Amino acid sequence: MHFDPSGFPGDSLFWEMLRVYWYSFTPAVKLVLCGYLLVVIYMFVKGDKKERTFYGVSLLVLIVACLNPKICRYLVDEWGFFARYFRFFWLVPVSMGYTHLAMKMYNKYEKKGRILLWVGVVVLFILSCRELVVMTGFSDLYAGGVYNTGMIPVPNIYKVEDDVIGVCNIVEASSGDASVVKKTLYSREFFIEVRTYDPALIPVVDYGYFSDFDFNTCISENNWFGIMTIFYTGKTEGVDASQMTSDLLKNAMANVDCEYVVLPKTNPYYDIWISSFECLGEAGRYTVLKVR
Amino acid sequence: MSQLLLAVLCFICYLLIYYLVGVATSKILKLDNNLLHELVYGMFVYGILFFVYVLPLKFKLVPVSTIGVIWALFISILCLLIIILLRKYIKESLRRFLKGIRKWKLCVIPVALFTIGFILFILIFARLPFGNNQVWFLGWPANGVLHNELMTYDTSSGVALERFPNERYLSTFLDHSAVVCKLTGLHVMVEVRTVLSAVFTLMQVIIVWELAKYFGKGDQKKSLFAFFMYWSVRNLLVGSQLLPNYFSVFRNYEGKGMVMIVPLPLLFLLLWKMYDRPEDTGYMWKAGITLWGAMTYSLSMMFSAPFVLLAFTPYVLVKKDKRLIRNLVVMFFVSGIFVVVYYLGRKGIIDLTIHR
């Protein structure tokens, strides 16, 4: 859904969106959505005036009013609805349409037919619950800070990783004032949960997205932010290992606005970091350092 | 443990307040004295009351703690007055509810079991999805509690904002979370991801149950069949982040998720009921409350409501009843106000500058 719209002028944006949406659907979703078209056709042909207009005509109006390339372009350009456009598809009453059709069948049939319908709905319900479980525990789509490896209960009532809570406790204990913001260096993975759990830990790097820096250029231009990034991301390619010293790191951090570092233990320069700054403690996969 | 206890208390308080506000609404507007309806419409009316109260204070940068104390006092007095003045009405509502449970005993156990199971499933297994959206969304109340100001700090960078975010400042339920957390000490993550998640799940079950009852036409077996049919389709559609069904499970505490699973299906149901009984003005009030209330949860409702109403205009017109057209005009008016306000904010005509 979040692709770059600039490469899709005019009507092509709408079709590209549909293509992206379609490829993000699971087979069950594709089946149900295609089936809904049959529900609408059935309601249109066999339904009474109320059903025809509620399911059939309203869908046509929606298509004319917003679900078409021209209006899509207008809504994206004029109203800034690019990332929100898919929500217009939510206005189609899919679950209600299926339920209505099932009820029509239920009312139409006598005892045996109704028993069959009950069996059908029970089977469908079990299948749908299976879909729910699969999506929750076994799909990357819904992974949290830790990738999905099965039906794992949330680690705590805050629903963030224990490591995140541990790190925040260490930083807050060191700072002594939870209401004061602390410039903290952390990764993208950590960013997502810490910004909601403890917003006092504000990121040194926006969104935890680190740019790629060339080591030699950083050294020659005294690009301290770049040097810090190389140390933190653990970049080794194109890096002269002999120059990666504690002094260089201290120099870099002295020139960057940063108070704490949440360092993954897997960092290749872990020892240099540890020897350069005060270690406040460890929390799971991370070590917390105090820079100043 | 104390957070868990606070969360349970908060959940009960929310439901109690929604119910009492709903009771007063139903009495004033002469709506049906039905406990489930009062819960749902009470939630929307409560949202509207808070919206009206907090918006000017937010612009004046009144501290969250002050906003919270005044609001808590107001709500306490309001609830007390409702209990004192409408005790007979409340008694009647509870009596009817218990009678309904006895009458609908075939459905009560499976629906209640499903509701509890579904809420527990969401609370225990639905983990934080990986994405900026979570920071963007949950960060507002979290920063509100930290800085004691509402929506004045960027959720991702933590930098002070110069303008209120146009697409967010009308969603005052985020401010409500900040106020409650500041006042009670409940952590934002718990209030939003546990308490609100449970409240919204309960609300969506109520709406689906109402839909099922409508389709079942008062027959228990038919209603139960419709209920599980609806959930089956809904659960089958969880496999896409682009569908509301996904939000109904994994991110139902978000404004857009909430408006697509509670007020939107409710609006569809109200359209059906209006069609059947155009003489009942209660549906007009209910639709108006639903629309306005939903706007205070997410601007997704702002941009989707006019299109929904437009799509269902032929449906209203075929009935050829002036009262239905009046209802539609009222709904267009309510949703239109928010569209205009959003557009004026986007064009810079409404000044959203934060004056420190």
A192:B132 CB<8 A = yes
More confident: A20 or A55:
A55
CB within 8 Å: A154 and B124: yes
Residue of A nearest to B304 (CA): A88
What is chain A's alpha carbon radius of gyration, rounded to the nearest angstrom?
27
Q: How much is the pLDDT for A124?
A: 95
Contacts of A71 in chain B (CB under 8 A): none
Tell me the average pLDDT across B248-274.
Answer: 90
Among A135, A144, A157, beta carbon nearest to B128: A144
Which residue has better confidence, B42 or B124? B42
Q: Give the pLDDT of residue A239.
A: 87
Q: What is the average pLDDT value for chain A, to the nearest integer?
A: 89
Interatomic CA distance for residues B294 and B289, integer angstroms: 8
Alpha-carbon gap: A91 to the closest alpha carbon of chain B (Å): 6
Q: What is the pLDDT of residues B152-169, one digit of tens each?
A: 999 988 999 999 998 889
Would you call A18 an interface residue with chain B, using a CB distance cutoff of 8 Å?
Answer: no
Closest-CA distance, B279 to chain A, in angstroms, reads 17
pLDDT of residue A143: 44
Lowest-pLDDT range, A122-131, B125-134, B250-259?
B125-134
Contact B346, A79 (CB under 8 A): yes
Q: Tell me whether residues A29 and B237 touch, CB distance under 8 A.
A: yes
pLDDT at position B131: 56
Minimum distance, in Å, between the CA of residue A240 and any CA atom of chain B: 32
Tell me: pLDDT of A140 over 90: no
Across the interface, do B256 and A103 touch by the CB < 8 Å criterion? Answer: no
Tokens of A227: 């040097």
- Of the candidates A86, A122, A159, the beta carbon closest to that of B242 is on A86
Nearest to B189 among A84, A98, A159 (CB): A159
Reported ipTM: 0.92
Which residue in chain B has the smallest CA separation from A147? B130
Residue B148 has pLDDT above 50, yes or no: yes
* Alpha carbons B14 and A174: distance in angstroms, whole number: 36
Our CA-based measurement puts residue B113 at a distance from the nearest CA of chain A, in whole angstroms, of 14
Residues from chain A that touch B9, judged by Cβ atoms under 8 A, are: none
Residue A116 CB contacts under 8 Å (≥ 6 apart), including other chains = A109
C-alpha B266/C-alpha B291 separation (Å) is 10
* Better-predicted residue by pLDDT, A81 or B144: B144
**Closest chain B residue by Cα to residue A104:** B215
Residues whose CB is less than 8 angstroms from the CB of residue B23 and which lie 6 or more positions away in sequence, other chains included:
B33, B38, B42, B82, B86, B89, B90, B93
Chain A positions touching B310 (Cβ under 8 A) are: 61, 65
Nearest to A62 by CA among A87, A79, A38, A33: A87
Phi, psi dihedral angles at B162 (to 5 degrees): -95, -25
Please state the rounded mean pLDDT for residues B70-95: 97
Q: From the CA of A208, how many Å to the nearest CA of chain B?
A: 9
One-character DSSP codes across B213-271: HHHHTT-HHHHHHHHHHHHHHHHHTTS-TTSHHHHHHHSTTSHHHHHHHTHHHHHHHHH
For the cut 70, the answer to whether the pLDDT of residue B347 exceeds it is yes
Q: What percent of chain B has pLDDT over 70?
A: 98
Q: Tell me what the pLDDT averaged over chain B comes to.
A: 92
Q: Is A22 on the interface with B (CB under 8 A)?
A: no
Specify burial of residue B91 (Cβ count, 10 A radius: 0-12, 13-18, 19+): exposed
| Inter-chain residue contact A192 with B131, CB threshold 8 Å | yes
Query: Which one, of A33, A62, A39, lies nearest residue A51 by Cα?
Result: A39
- Nearest-Cα distance to chain B for A211, in Å, is 16
Number of H helices and E strands in chain B, helices first, is 17, 0
Question: What pLDDT score does A149 carry?
Answer: 66
Q: Is residue A80 very low, low, confident or very high in pLDDT (cuts 50, 70, 90)?
A: confident
pLDDT bracket for residue B138 (50, 70, 90): confident
pLDDT tens readout for residues B6-31: 999 999 999 999 999 999 999 999 99
The mean per-residue pLDDT over the stretch B205-215 comes to 95
Beta strands at A182-185 and A260-264: parallel, antiparallel or unpaired: parallel
Q: How many CB pairs under 8 A join A and B?
A: 252
Res. B198 pLDDT band, cuts 50 70 90: very high
pLDDT band of residue A26 (cuts 50, 70, 90) is confident
Q: Give the pLDDT score at B129.
A: 59
* Mean pLDDT of the B23-45 span: 96
Give me the pLDDT at residue B300, please. Answer: 84
Among A24-33, A105-114, B75-84, B102-111, top mean pLDDT goes to B75-84
**pLDDT of A270 above 90:** yes
Chain B residues within 8 A of A131 when measuring between CB atoms: 235-236, 238-239
Distance CA B44, CA B297 (A): 9
Burial of B98 (0-12, 13-18, 19+ CB in 10 A): exposed
A84 contacts chain B (CB < 8 A): yes
pTM score: 0.93
Q: What is the pLDDT of residue B4?
A: 94
The answer to whether the CB of B302 falls within 8 A of the CB of B348 is no
pLDDT of residue A142: 47
pLDDT > 90: percent of chain A: 64
Interface of A with B in 223-262 (CB under 8 A): none
What is the token pair recorded at A149? 């490896």
pLDDT band at B302 (very low <50, low <70, confident <90, very high): confident
Q: In this structure, which long-range contacts are made by residues A28-32, counting pairs with CB atoms below 8 Å and at least 24 apart in sequence? A: A28/A131, A28/B236, A28/B237, A28/B239, A29/B236, A29/B237, A29/B239, A29/B240, A29/B243, A32/A94, A32/A98, A32/B233, A32/B236, A32/B237
Quick one: which of B27, B32, B50, B70 has its CA closest to B277?
B32
What are the beta bridge partners of residue A262? A288
Report domain extents, chain B. 2-346
CB A94 within 8 A of CB A36: yes
Which tokens hold the place of B70?
A: 């005044």
Give the span between the Cα atoms of B127 and A260, in whole angstroms: 27
Taking an 8 Å cut-off on Cβ atoms, the answer to whether A192 and B135 are in contact is yes
Does B346 sit within 8 Å of A80, measured CB to CB? yes
